[in-house]
């Protein structure tokens, strides 16, 4: 059965049909955690996202932005901002009862807040086999057959709960140093999960990091791509990452994610492939830069990136 997602933006406010709506996320302001003194304060992020010209944002890690829905709606309305998605972190391949309970508790809190402020999607990031800060291994790099099946079952269940109880759509995000990172792993995940319950958040930077091709995945699995994170990697630094087997933590500190259009993949090509599909997408700008060296760094990069992306393709819009 061919599955075509229907939960995508179809018309922009200017009347553009099947638009690619360009938004941003706290990640582009150096935010990875709910609380961290090295991160841009949440109100500054909202102010600067607006100043840079964005009208769509993600919530980022739960607890970074206010979790009181009424307060958050007021803050968003004051800046004419809309939420596209919340973010959940999972580890469904693991069997530890307390960890699974914590995952579902987090997922429900994020879903409740996302729905309350008008979001439509939940971006789901799998656990990494190396710690994202220290780089230390926390488990085996490869999953067993049983672990793959638990991963599939867990995300199918999550997709069902998000849709039936909250009216939200799961967008699975492959990630550096996670068990779903390479082209083969991404394909295995796509083919092992239910298309009615699991779509893919195609993060162009992390896909490139894993040696996969965003354009190829769009062409081969057009009905499974439901959401995008737009970013690029520095090919020179990626050579070092692969040669020296650097951890994601080390690669990030080395500046592996770069400002478009300086890196790979070619985002104009990615957007061209999206437009061939004839339906709309949320395309959220992310440039990992935790910890940001100065709070003054993100704003000009965010503004330049928005201008560049809005010049790609014929149906890219900021809202």
> Which DSSP helix (H) or strand (E) runs through 84?
strand 82-90
- For the beta carbon of residue 276, count every other beta carbon within 10 angstroms: 9
What is the structure's pLDDT at 317?
Answer: 62
DSSP H stretches of helix in the chain: 42-51, 69-78, 97-116, 145-166, 183-192, 204-209, 214-220, 235-244, 248-253, 267-276, 298-310
Residue 36 burial (C-beta neighbours within 10 Å; 0-12, 13-18, 19+): middle
Which residues, given as ranges, of the chain have pLDDT below 70? 1-6, 10-18, 314-315, 317-319
Q: Specify whether the CB–CB gap between 308 and 12 falls below 8 A.
A: no
Give me the pLDDT at residue 2, please. 46
DSSP 29: G
Angle ∠(95,96,97) on CA atoms, nearest 5: 105
Paired strand residues for 121: 85, 169
Question: How far, in Å, are 33, 68, 86 from residue 64 at the CA level?
Answer: 7, 11, 11
- Asked if residue 132 lies in contact with residue 248, where contact means CB atoms within 8 angstroms, the answer is yes
Q: What is the DSSP letter of 120?
A: -
| Number of CB atoms found within 10 A of residue 51's CB | 12
Which tokens sit at 167?
Answer: 């009216």
The Cα–Cα gap between 81 and 8 comes to 18
SS3 79: coil
* pLDDT recorded at residue 4: 57
pTM, two decimals, is: 0.93
DSSP state of 93: T
Both tokens of residue 170? 């799961």
> Six-digit token pair at 27?
């990640």
CATH architecture of the domain covering 20-317: Alpha-Beta Barrel (3.20)
Q: Quote the pLDDT of residue 23.
A: 97
Confidence (pLDDT) at 319: 54
DSSP state of 92: T
């Amino acid at each position: 059965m061919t599955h075509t997602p229907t939960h995508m933006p179809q018309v922009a406010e200017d009347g553009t049909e099947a638009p690619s709506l360009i938004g941003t996320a706290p990640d582009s302001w150096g935010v990875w955690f709910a609380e961290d003194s090295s991160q841009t304060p949440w109100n500054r992020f909202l102010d600067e996202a607006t100043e840079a010209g964005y009208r769509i944002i993600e919530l980022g890690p739960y607890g970074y932005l206010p979790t009181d829905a009424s307060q958050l709606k007021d803050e968003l309305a004051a800046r004419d901002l809309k939420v596209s998605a919340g973010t959940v972190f999972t580890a469904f391949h693991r069997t530890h009862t307390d960890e699974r309970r914590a995952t579902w508790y987090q997922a429900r809190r994020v879903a409740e807040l996302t729905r309350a402020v008008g979001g439509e999607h939940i971006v789901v990031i799998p656990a990494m086999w190396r710690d994202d800060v220290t780089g230390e291994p926390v488990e085996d790099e490869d999953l067993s057959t049983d672990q793959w099946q638990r991963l599939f079952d867990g995300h199918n269940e999550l997709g069902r709960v998000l849709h039936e109880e909250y009216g939200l759509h799961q967008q699975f995000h492959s990630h550096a140093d996670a068990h779903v990172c390479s082209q083969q792993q991404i394909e295995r995940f796509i083919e092992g999960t239910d298309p009615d319950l699991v779509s893919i958040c195609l993060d162009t930077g992390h896909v490139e990091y894993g040696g996969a091709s965003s354009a190829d995945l769009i062409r081969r699995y057009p009905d499974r791509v439901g959401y995008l994170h737009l970013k690029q990697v520095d090919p020179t630094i990626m050579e070092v990452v692969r040669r020296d087997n650097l951890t994601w933590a080390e690669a990030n500190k080395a500046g592996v994610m770069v400002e478009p259009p300086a890196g790979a993949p070619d985002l104009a090509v990615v957007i061209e492939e999206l437009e061939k599909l004839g339906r709309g997408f949320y395309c959220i700008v992310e440039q990992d830069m935790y910890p940001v060296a100065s709070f003054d760094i993100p704003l000009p990069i965010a503004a330049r990136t928005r201008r560049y992306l809005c010049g790609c393709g014929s149906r890219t819009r900021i809202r």
